[in-house]
Amino acid sequence: MLDGIDTSDLSADERELVRRRAAIKKSMKGNKRANTKPELLVRQRLRAAGLTGYRLEWKVPGKPDIAFPGRKIAIFVNGCFWHRCPKCNPSQPKRNVEFWEAKFRRNVERDRAAISALTQMGWTPITIWECELKKDRIDATMEKVIEQVRAAEPQR
């Protein structure tokens, strides 16, 4: 038994494939979806700027990491690798290329669909890339984000 699968009738190649998939699944589960260091950093900066009243993973398309429902602002704090940052061109895995290309394509398409749906609902989506939170860029990035949030009129 491997990852709940009876492997006794499988060939050595098939057992290896099951083992690899189980390892990938375990690795993927280890990747945090919420309260990542970049998200915590953004929230810390928002609070320091006096911007409170946000919600985490608000139930609108894409489940933004940070949402200001009253202002209809949705903030996504995206990891460059997983969401394929257009600014820093993250590396591609060398193994299982077809799997990763399809995975990244789905991630990017899901992000686009969420942003489109939010825009149609009258929300302002803001994407902050992980690379924009590096020491040399965080001040400029957060200044721009804080400006956008403050400029949004609270909705009644």
Strand order in the sheet with 124-129: 55-56, 66-68, 73-78, 124-129
Instruction: For the beta carbon of residue 71, count every other beta carbon within 10 angstroms.
Output: 20
Q: How confident is the model at residue 26 (pLDDT cuts 50, 70, 90)?
A: low
Q: What does the domain layout of the chain look like in residue ranges? A: 1-30, 33-151
The pLDDT > 90 percentage for the chain reads: 71
pLDDT tops 80 at residue 65: yes
**Is residue 46 within 8 Å of residue 71, measured between CB atoms?**
no
- Classify domain 33-151 at the CATH class level: alpha beta
Q: What is the pLDDT of the chain when averaged over all its residues? A: 89
pLDDT at 1 over 70: no
Helix (H) or strand (E) run with residue 54 in it: none
pLDDT of 3 reads 62
DSSP for residue 118: H
Confidence of residue 150 (pLDDT cuts 50, 70, 90): very high
Q: How far out from the chain centre does Cα 100 lie?
A: 16
